[in-house]
Amino acid sequence: MTTAPPPILSSTSPSDVSTTCAAHNLTPAEFHALREQATAAKARAYCPYSNFRVGAALLPAVGKDGKGGGGGIDAIVCGANVENASYPVTTCAERVAVGRAVVDGLHAGGGFRAVAVATDTDAPDSPCGMCRQCLREFCDVKIPIIMFDKNGNFSVLRLGELLPLSFGPQALGVPEPSKSLAAQP
Ligand SMILES: [Zn+2]
């Protein structure tokens, strides 16, 4: 079975950005902050073996002020891939970002509203299978995964499209992170 790839859009096209933001409940400022911070994180990747740099940025549902219903650009958490001479020890950018967010408490109260990933490739690349599962722990399946290539072009798919029929916290009786947001005042 094959699935048609998503369209490639341009981050310099106001209509592409506004259409994407409207579809995924983001502001253009949040979109561009995610792109900029994922790209900046990519530059800090430690990847002497593959030279395949990846940056990731997570937009928490709750900002650093603790208020729900929007999160904030100031709460964006970044990660980059961190390789190791013992190759399997390598950690992807997305999971580095998730780890940082959890330690800072930024996953609490709703998980993340959007994820951006940036690579140096000619076309957008998607998170690996392990990272899709990791993100599923802290994200609703409806959130957008925005994938940027080296030129700032991007594709968007929802997490549930990248990881259909996913196994998440609810399967083990733990509330979905996104459900706790609704319970907030
Ligand atoms: Zn990965």
Structural domains of the chain, with CATH: 9-162+170-182 (3.40.140.10)
In tens, the pLDDT along 125-163 reads: 999 999 999 999 999 999 999 999 999 999 999 999 999
Ion ligand 1: protein residues whose beta carbon lies under 5 Å = 92, 128, 131
Cα(131) to ligand 1 centroid in Å equals 4
Cα(54) to ligand 1 centroid in Å equals 9
pLDDT tier, 70 (very low <50, low <70, confident <90, very high otherwise): low
Which H/E stretch holds residue 58?
strand 54-60
Q: Is 94 a catalytic residue?
A: yes
- The model's pTM is 0.92
Q: Binding residue per annotation — 51?
A: no
Catalytic entry in 30, 94, 137, 161: 94
